[in-house]
A and B are shown apart, each in its own frame.
Chain A
Amino acid sequence: MNDIPTPDSIGLSREDLPNSYIGRSVPRPNVPKLVQGRATYTDDVVLPRMVHAAFLRSPHAHARIVSVDATAAMQVPGVVRVFTGQDLAKVCDPWVAVLAHLKGMKSAPQHPLPLDRATWQGEPIVAVVADSRAAAEDGVAALRVEFDPLPAQVDMETALAPGATVIHTELGDNLVFQRTAVQGDVDAAFAAAHKVVEATFVTGRHTGVTLEPRSIIADYNRADGTLTVHQSTQAPHMMQNVFAKQLRMEESQVRVICKDVGGSFGIKVHVYPDEVAVAAMSRILGRPVKFVADRFEAFASDIHARDHRIKGRIAVDADGKILGFDIDDLTGIGPYSVYPRTSAIEGNQVVNLCGGPYDFANYRCTTTVVLQNKVPTCQYRAVGHPIATAVTEGLVDLAAQAIGMDPIEMRRRNLVRDDAYPFTSPAGMKFEGLSHHASLKKLLEMVPVERIRADQAEARARGVHRGLGIAAFIELTNPSPFMYGIGGARISAQDGATVRMDPDGSVVVASGVTEQGQGTEAILAQIVAHGVGVPVGKVRVITGDTQATPYGGGTWACRGAGIGGEAALQSAIALKEQLLTVAGTMLQANPASLDIVLGEVVDKATGAQRISLSEIGRIVYFRGDTLPKDLPREFVQTRHFITKEYPFAFTNGIQACWVEVDVATGMVKVLEHWCVEDCGRVINPLLVDEQVRGGIVQGLGGALYEHCVYDDQGNLLTTTMADYLVPMAAEMPEIHVGHVETPTRESLLGAKGAGEAGTAGAPGALMNAINDALRPLGGIVTAQPFTPASILRALGTI
């Protein structure tokens, strides 16, 4: 395995191996259409007889719906129809988001529009369908909906306390899920430890702000009983199943088409009630119905994430050896677990990932997942990782400080050794092969630590406070059915690719993984060009159509390259073998003596050109009569791939952050940031670097700026881009990215995921950097986002 030739592996420059695309920064073929405005986003799709939906959303965090009067709305010019929860319940069943392997998990049935109760501010309550979106909004403005406000359960800390408002009385309480992982003897280890350090961490509730908002067109055709859904989604096949199941249809009657997607970050891999409502309304109307969330709706209805309070303790011996972690995580997830992935996964990930980079014996971690009247939370880029990393690395830094050890030395003594694999972590995670020490070494080659420490001392003398922070992390990628499938969710862990050659020698690959702007289609083209032996410009890529691609899971949890890429590589190699079989017959040569280079069949030994693929295509497709009757000539090959040896392909990496804190104003300026990560085989270095950079920016955003702020009545206060602060280019530092490559042996390609590494480590590195800067002043911050107010409070200024 892992013996595919790359320029590096055979000691050639890239120019010397023209057929090699794996490992090359090939320009993305879909970039011109994106930057020229010629992409096809869902909102660009216009269908005959199409109508537009707008929603009246709950102004209350928790309220009984007393009455809905649509009389005036129906008089608004252009309004076609008004739908309530009762109307949609006639054609659409509710869903309950639990997974069987998350023992004891519970949640309440959720309808596309609620029948009698609003449970978060922003929940869609009534839908108006009209000739245009503006007319639909006019109709919403004319609706008369009477609410009876109920007490709202806002604070997760009191969700399980006596007197809490139980959001769904049939559940008995607000507890969704609780799990404790234990390894070793934590109490004994802490009792005997040289030092025990503890802290309480908070990760701020935030969301993934996609440039293109959630968008859907559902088109139910009464003539043939089919539902065609154009949707901005990460998982077309999962959505096909959801629409079929909820609308009581056969999966084969539903087709989901997903063309260009303007960013997802996990936001677009969930089932949203307004989107299911659109499908149900189309089912009733027999007309295409379009809904595009506006920015307000995005803030009030896209999933939120990372609303956690974590109490953590670490025990170390006198040499700085970590003896154990003891962690208690609490997270509020809104009023419903989100279907079908559930909202317990994030807390579960915290349990799985805390302490992840380190070799230690004693571990206890509990997550408690509770309901509250806020926007539902679910999986967002790097699910649980930034939380676990910030807690782990925050505690490691505090322990290092407590025993007077350099934080880098502390990590060197505790990171799992590079020759220790396979390795099972105290949390039970199985690691095939990681490279913590090689990554630390590489990081220290990139970060001028001595110069930084000298600068720090010199600046402190001038009253300028700078700090350096480090955070090692692990990242879960290439998930097997152990993530969702074993829990009963129909989410494919397997993906397929079909590769075909057309008569002109061009190649088309259809893949079950999807593109949301990160370059999936670019790497699929590279892999197939590499595998077949054609110029990358000869490869066309089809993704995002349940009727035209092999069944698959889509792109999430960092599986596009590792799973979809391997399926594409295997099918490309199969097509190449088939092409060489036919070429061998035509040329009366042993196929094993031939190769394909840049679209030409060549003699493997001499490189002499023998016949072009387009000539083979011409003969096979138009003069097949000239070939032997029994010659197999299927220039279409399909392969599927699923990981089998390990539940997940873990990756690892380490980040460093260098900041300046203005201790008078509390403002933090990130001066420079570094990341070394190991995603196995790098297919396109430029794309991986930009994925890492984008991930870091999102991580820094959550740690510094992004915050879904609620008042104590459950009113969301951050509903515009002026209030919800995303990181902007002006504030972002130079980001340096380095790689260590430890390919997974589960696949020929050897690729693991790369998309979440940046987000996983950045908040922890930033927190440690700020605290390094504040250390001489005696301040420490552990609650994200690290706002000026929080830093001034930590310093005792306010």
Chain B
Amino acid sequence: MVRMKWPAIGYVRATSLEDLWTAQAAHGGSAQVLAGGQTLLATLAFRLSDPKVLIDITRIAALRGIGAQGGVLRIGALTRHAELGRDPLVRQHAPLLAEAVPLIAHPAIRNRGTIGGSLAYADPAAELPACVVALGATIVLASARGERRVAAEDFFTGLLQTALEPGEIIAAVELPSATAATRCAIVEVARRSGDYAMAGLAACLSLDAAGTVAAPRLVFFGVGSGPVLAAKAGAALAGRVLDHAAIGAAQMALAEDLDPPADMHGPPEMKRHLARVLTQRALGRFLPASEIAA
């Protein structure tokens, strides 16, 4: 039965990655990394997880900071959602993330929660996993064995499952910088502001001067076991001039892309329907004025 008071737990503060590897070696699988704590602390209170030691990584400088270099935006894993929302580099190079932040939970959670924590937890209804897949990001992973890079779309492997291996943490997220041709949007339907979405869409594509779509990535959240990259809908858009007919084709193609589960808010068919509505709402923003008037 669910409870609300934590059991007694040990606490270690790591101030460098070396510290972290040492602590992990000492405590092994009974240790749990603590960053923003917005998911972990609740699972502890519910006694859903049972670590013996928490290793606090929030003072590790190597996991902090946001920088842009050579067409790549690097966001440290400890970047809190609120920081993401107000950072000028993020706004310039990855405006989709800035647009996503107000949709993430509530201010108190945004002040504590980190991008690394959100990606590592991989909640299927969370905004940031969908955003990083839509943006074609690379997740930088670190462990005592060294660093490795995983494409965002390969990082999420199932319900609350990721490519993270034991002892590994997310160090940073690297994103290609937005160009003048980049069009991004995030839209969702949630029962109340701040709730997990019943269905959401993070969309990213390029539009040339003629209005032709390139590299479309429509990533849905809240409709599967993780962020769902709608490949067929993307294919229906790629190389076409973006107009109502193209959007309609993408909506049709979603039938093959999505296999949503039922949840407390409604049946799979509702999520399919909402996904089509969100496709219209997200892509409709990029239509030329003449199309909108029509």
Contacting A59 at CB < 8 Å: which of B1, B7, B193, B196? B1
Of the listed stretches B20-28, B132-140, B162-170, B262-270, name the one at the interface; the rest are far from the partner chain: B262-270
- A789 CA to B194 CA, complexed, in Å: 19
B193 contacts A140, CB within 8 Å? no
Q: CB within 8 Å of B: which of A720-744?
A: 722-723, 725, 727-728, 730-731
Given contacts A725-B192, A728-B193, A730-B193, contact A133 B5 (CB under 8 A): yes
Q: Is the CB of A138 closer than 8 A to any CB of chain B?
A: yes
Which residues of chain B are within 8 angstroms of A666 by Cβ–Cβ distance? 270
**A249 interface contact, C-beta 8 A:** no
Q: Is the CB of A54 within 8 A of B192?
A: no
User: Which of A57, A59, A718, A787: most chain B CB closer than 10 A?
Assistant: A787
Q: From B47, which residue of chain A is reached at the shortest CB distance?
A: A141
**Closest beta carbon of chain B to A63's beta carbon, Å:** 13
- Contact A788–B266 (Cβ < 8 Å): yes
Q: How far is the CB of A664 from chain B (nearest CB, A)?
A: 5
CA A730 – CA B264 in complex, angstroms? Answer: 22
Residues of B near A137 (CB, < 8 A) are 3-5, 7, 47
> A665-B274, A725-B191 in contact; A718/B4 too (CB < 8 A)?
no
Give the docked Cα–Cα distance between A788 and B269 (Å).
12
- CB–CB B196/A134 < 8 A: no
Task: Report how many residues on chain A are interfacial, defined by Cβ distance under 8 Å.
Answer: 35
Query: CB distance A788 to B192 under 8 Å?
Result: no
- Report yes or no: B189 in contact with A665, Cβ–Cβ below 8 A: yes
Please give, as numbers and ranges, the residues of chain B lying within 8 Å of A133 by CB-CB distance. 5
Tell me the minimal C-beta distance from B113 to chain A in angstroms.
Answer: 14
Q: Is the CB of A722 within 8 A of B192?
A: no
* Most-contacted residue by chain B among A719, A788, A792 (CB, 10 A): A788
Q: Is the CB of A788 within 8 A of B270?
A: yes
Q: Which residues of A contact B291 (CB under 8 A)?
A: none
Q: Are A294 and B189 in contact (CB under 8 A)?
A: no
Partner of B267, one of A295, A667, A798: A798
When the two chains form their complex, are residues B189 and A788 in contact, meaning their CB atoms are under 8 A apart? yes
Contact with A along B192-203 (1 / 0, CB 8 A): 111110100000
Q: Knowing A665-B277, A709-B264, A798-B267 touch, does A788 contact B191 (C-beta < 8 A)? A: yes
Question: Nearest B residue to A667 by beta-carbon distance?
Answer: B189
Task: Kindly identify which residue among A138, A667, A728 contacts B7, using a CB–CB cutoff of 8 Å.
Answer: A138
Residues of B249-269 contacting chain A, CB below 8 A: 264-267, 269
The interface residues of chain A lying within 8 Å CB-to-CB of B6 are 134
- Could you list some 24 contacts between A and B, CB below 8 A? A133-B5, A134-B6, A134-B7, A137-B4, A137-B7, A294-B3, A295-B4, A296-B4, A296-B46, A665-B189, A665-B277, A705-B191, A717-B264, A727-B192, A728-B192, A730-B192, A731-B192, A731-B193, A788-B189, A789-B265, A789-B266, A798-B267, A798-B269, A798-B273
Interface members, chain B 79-113 (any A CB < 8 Å): none
Residues of A within 8 A of B198 (CB): 788
Q: Judge whether B180 is part of the interface by a CB distance below 8 angstroms.
A: no
Contacts of B192 in A (CB 8 A): 705, 725, 727-728, 730-731
Which 7 A-B residue pairs are closest in the complex by CB-CB distance? A789-B266, A294-B4, A134-B5, A137-B3, A730-B193, A296-B2, A798-B269
Q: Which of chain B's residues has its CB closest to A294's CB?
A: B4
Residues 21-64 (chain A) with a chain B CB within 8 angstroms: 54, 56-57, 59
A54 to B47, CA, bound (A): 14
Query: CA separation between A295 and B265, bound complex, in Å?
Result: 21
Which DSSP category, helix, strand, loop or mixed, fits chain B's interface? loop
Asked if A140 and B1 make an inter-chain contact with CB atoms under 8 angstroms apart, the answer reads yes
Q: Would you call B294 an interface residue if the criterion is a C-beta within 8 Å of the partner chain's C-beta atoms?
A: no
**How would residues 664 to 684 of chain A score, 1 for a CB under 8 Å from any chain B CB and 0 otherwise?**
111100000000000000000
B3 touches A140 (CB 8 A): yes
* A667 CB contacts on chain B under 8 angstroms: 189
The reply on A86 being an interface residue by CB < 8 A is no
Q: How far is the CA of A731 from the CA of B274 in the complex (A)?
A: 20
Given A134-B5, A294-B4, A798-B273, is A730 in contact with B194 using a C-beta cutoff of 8 Å? yes
- B172 CB, min distance to chain A CBs, angstroms: 29
| One of A54, A59, A722 near B3 (C-beta < 8 A) | A54
- For the complex formed, measure the closest distance between the CB of A789 and the CB atoms of chain B, giving whole angstroms: 3
Interface set, chain B 233-286, CB cutoff 8 A to A: 264-267, 269-270, 273-274, 277
Please report the C-alpha to C-alpha distance between residue A731 and residue B192 in the assembled complex, in whole angstroms: 7
Query: Could you tell me which A residues sit within 8 Å of B by CB distance?
Result: 54, 56-57, 59, 133-134, 137-138, 140-141, 294-296, 664-667, 705, 709, 717-719, 722-723, 725, 727-728, 730-731, 787-789, 792, 797-798
- Interface: B210 (CB within 8 A): no
The smallest beta-carbon distance between A479 and chain B, in angstroms, is 35
**Across the interface, which residues of A come within 8 angstroms of B270, CB to CB?**
666, 788-789, 792, 798
CB distance from A296 to the nearest CB of B (A): 5
Q: Which B3-38 residues have C-beta < 8 A from chain A?
A: 3-8
**Which B residues are in CB contact (< 8 Å) with A798?**
266-267, 269-270, 273
B273, A797: Cβ atoms closer than 8 Å: yes
Measured CB to CB, the closest approach of chain A to B232, in angstroms, equals: 21
Which residues of chain A are within 8 angstroms of B273 by Cβ–Cβ distance?
792, 797-798
* Least Cβ–Cβ distance between B250 and chain A, in angstroms: 16
Name B280's closest neighbour in chain A (CB-CB).
Answer: A664
Complex CA gap A57/B267 in Å reads 31
Q: In whole angstroms, what is the CA distance A141 to B50 when docked?
A: 12
**Nearest-neighbor residue (CB-CB) of B1 within chain A:** A57
Task: Tell me, rounded to whole Å, the shortest Cβ–Cβ distance linking A645 to chain B.
Answer: 46
Residues of A near B194 (CB, < 8 A) are 728, 730
Q: Within 8 Å CB of A787, what residues of B?
A: 191, 265-266
Q: What separation, in Å, do the CA atoms of A67 and B101 have in the docked complex?
A: 51
Task: List, in ascending order, chain B residues with CB within 8 A of A722's CB.
Answer: 195-196
Once the chains are docked, how many angstroms separate the CA of A719 from the CA of B270?
23
Q: How far is the CB of B293 from chain A (nearest CB, A)?
A: 13
Task: State in angstroms the CA–CA spacing of A719 and B264 once bound together.
Answer: 12
Alpha-carbon separation in the docked complex, A667 to B278 (Å)? 13
**Chain B 177-193 interface mask (CB, 8 Å, partner A; 1/0):** 00000000000010111
Contact of B265 among A54, A141, A731, A788 (CB under 8 A): A788
Chain B residues lying within 8 Å of A665, measured Cβ to Cβ, are 189, 274, 277
Instruction: Chain B residues near A730: list those with CB within 8 A.
Output: 192-194
CB distance from B272 to the nearest CB of A (A): 8
Nearest residue, chain A, Cβ from B42: A720
Contact B267 A725 (CB under 8 A): no
Cβ of A717: which chain B residues have Cβ within 8 Å of it?
264
B193 partner residues in chain A, CB cutoff 8 A? 728, 730-731
By a CB distance below 8 angstroms, the chain B residues around A54 are 3
Closest residue on chain A to residue B196 by CB atoms = A722
Which residues of chain B are near A725, meaning CB under 8 Å? 191-192, 195
Which residues of chain B are near A140, meaning CB under 8 Å?
A: 1, 3
Smallest CB gap from B278: residue in A: A665
Chain B residues with CB under 8 A of A664:
277
| Min distance, Cβ B280 to any Cβ of chain A, angstroms | 8
Q: A324–B264 Cα gap in the complex (Å)?
A: 38
Rounded to whole angstroms, the CA-CA distance of A295 and B46 in the bound complex is 11
B195 — which chain A residues lie within 8 A by C-beta? 722, 725
State A728–B192 Cα separation when bound (angstroms).
Answer: 8
Contacts of B3 in A (CB 8 A): 54, 137, 140-141, 294, 296
Chain A residue nearest in CB terms to B190: A667
How far does the alpha carbon of A56 sit from the alpha carbon of B270 in the complex, in Å? Answer: 38
User: CA A471 – CA B119 in complex, angstroms?
Assistant: 47
A787: nearest chain-B partner, CB-CB? B265
Q: A787-B265, A798-B273 are in contact. List 10 more A-B contacts (CB 8 A).
A: A133-B5, A294-B3, A294-B5, A665-B277, A722-B196, A725-B192, A725-B195, A788-B189, A788-B191, A788-B266
Q: Give A342 Cβ to nearest chain B Cβ, in Å.
A: 29
B residues within 8 A CB of A789?
A: 265-267, 270
> Bound complex: CA of A133 vs CA of B8, how far in Å?
12
Q: Which B residues are in CB contact (< 8 Å) with A718?
A: 264
Q: Report the minimal beta-carbon distance from B179 to chain A, rounded to whole angstroms.
A: 32
Q: How far is the CA of A563 from the CA of B41 in the complex (A)?
A: 46
User: How far, in Å, is B5 (CB) from chain A's closest CB?
Assistant: 4
